[in-house]
Every structure is written in C-alpha cells, then in structure tokens.
Amino acid sequence: MVELTIDGVRTTVPRGTTVLEAARSMGIVIPTLCYDPGLTPYGACRLCIVEVVKGKRSSLEASCTLPAFDGQVIVTNSERVKKARKIIIELLLSTCPTSKKLQDLASNFGVNEVRFKIKDKGCILCGLCVRYCKEQMQSGGIGFVGRGTSRRVGTAFGDTPDECRNCGGCEWICPVCERACTADSLMNGLCGGCQNYAPVETCTVCIGCSESVGARGHKVY
C-alpha cells in the first residue's frame, strides 16, 4: 500500500494504482478522453493532467499513466490545471470540431473561443480504437499509420484485414464519432449553446409530473 495526498486529503491505495484511479476512488472527477479502465493507459489526450507538487516546484503530468507512490502530493483542480485543460480542449476542437464529446467538454469548462487554426481531421489520435481492437478483441486489425502530422488510424495498405470481425467496437469506443447537435452550423469551430442552459431544480418528491421548481415557483413543461 502507498499513502499520498490528493487535494489536501490523505488516502491509501494499493501499490500499482495510478493517480487517476486513486482520485476517482475518492470521488474526484478528472476528465479523460483516451482512458478506459479495461485498456492499457496511453496518455495521449493529456486532458487528465494534474499538478504534482515537489517542494516549491510543481509539474503538470497525465494522471492516467502516473503511478501513485508514498508521499506524493497531487492537486487536481488548481488554476494552472484548469487553464491547461482549457487550452487542450481548444487544441482538440481545432482538429475535431464536430465531436459532441468535445463540444460538451468545451461548454463544461467554459471554453468560449478556439484560437487555433481549424482543420477537421475527424480523429484526435487517442488510440482507444487501436487498443480496443488489439487488447479486447485480440485482433489488431487497425493501427496507427504514418508519422507526425500525417499520423492516422488505418489498416495495412488500406484494405480490410482478415483479422477484422466487424464487431463495431472501434466506433463504439471512439470519443469523437458522435457528431455534435450543431455540427453543421458551428461558429469558428465552437458551439457554446449549452453554456446558456441553467440547471433546473426538481421537486423533492418526484412523481413524474414533468414539473420543475425554480426561483419563480412551479413550471409545467
């Protein structure tokens, strides 16, 4: 067992646990895109970054691949972390603006503009589909092709491999396959419509009457 401190709270976790797993076991929400509990951690999207405090200094590291160890001090939601996550979301949106998942993240984190040149590639190279195909389906029919800016997910020579079982798992696990509800009418790569929605307070005793309780009393929809 190892003991570490996350957001000022000491916790003990089994050796080999990652910081992401430790934080989630405490109920702390850390956003992820390339992480899945049934797959090998990859650390591609960097959205799960946390601040690792080391004396008077600190660094930003991906929590999904960061092992927990004794004496570790982690901050999951500092101003530095929040600022970095917003920039990461902007970068991801610039490569895949039609993704519902990314647009939802932008709304949740208050991203009001995308300051990078938008080139819709339809993929953020998170590697979930590649790892799922190899580790869960024991196939390896798809993989990464090319390097640098030409890197993409594909098959050998562009042909459907014999190993492919047509399971559809690659599409199911993809975090950006689902198109945003405003995918065809985005303004500079951003929707932001969900930021205008206010939370609705429902009745304390719900009987399915489709009523809500707000500052001005009951309202029937």
Q: What pLDDT score does 77 carry?
A: 93
Query: How far from the centroid of its chain's Cα atoms is residue 191's Cα?
Result: 18
Q: What pLDDT score does 68 carry?
A: 94
Query: Which three-class secondary structure state does DSSP give residue 119?
Result: coil
Euclidean distance between CA atoms 200 and 192, whole angstroms: 19
Q: What pLDDT score does 147 carry?
A: 87
Average pLDDT, the chain: 86
Contact 80, 161 (CB under 8 A): no
CATH architecture of 2-117: Roll (3.10)
Please name the residue ranges forming H helices in the chain: 19-25, 79-95, 100-108, 128-131, 169-173
For residue 193, which of 119, 104, 130, 126 has the smallest C-alpha distance? 104
For residue 74, which of 124, 128, 9, 155 has the smallest C-alpha distance? 9
How do the domains of the chain map onto residue ranges? 2-117
Euclidean distance between CA atoms 17 and 41, whole angstroms: 12
Contact 103, 94 (CB under 8 A): no
Euclidean distance between CA atoms 70 and 134, whole angstroms: 33
Q: 182: exposed, middle or buried (C-beta count within 10 Å: 0-12, 13-18, 19+)? A: middle
Q: What pLDDT score does 215 carry?
A: 47
Query: Which three-class secondary structure state does DSSP give residue 61?
Result: strand
Query: How far from the centroid of its chain's Cα atoms is residue 84's Cα?
Result: 14
Residues in the chain where the model's pLDDT stays below 70: 193, 195-221
Contact 85, 51 (CB under 8 A): no
pTM, whole model, 2 decimals?
0.81
Provide the token pair at 147: 């390097």
Rg over alpha carbons for the chain, rounded to the nearest Å, is 21
**Which are the contacts of 23, defined by CB distance < 8 A and separation ≥ 6?**
6, 30, 50, 63, 74, 76
**Which are the contacts of 178, defined by CB distance < 8 A and separation ≥ 6?**
99, 100, 101
141-152 pLDDT, tens digit each: 888 988 888 888
Query: How far from the centroid of its chain's Cα atoms is residue 158's Cα?
Result: 29
Q: What pLDDT score does 221 carry?
A: 41
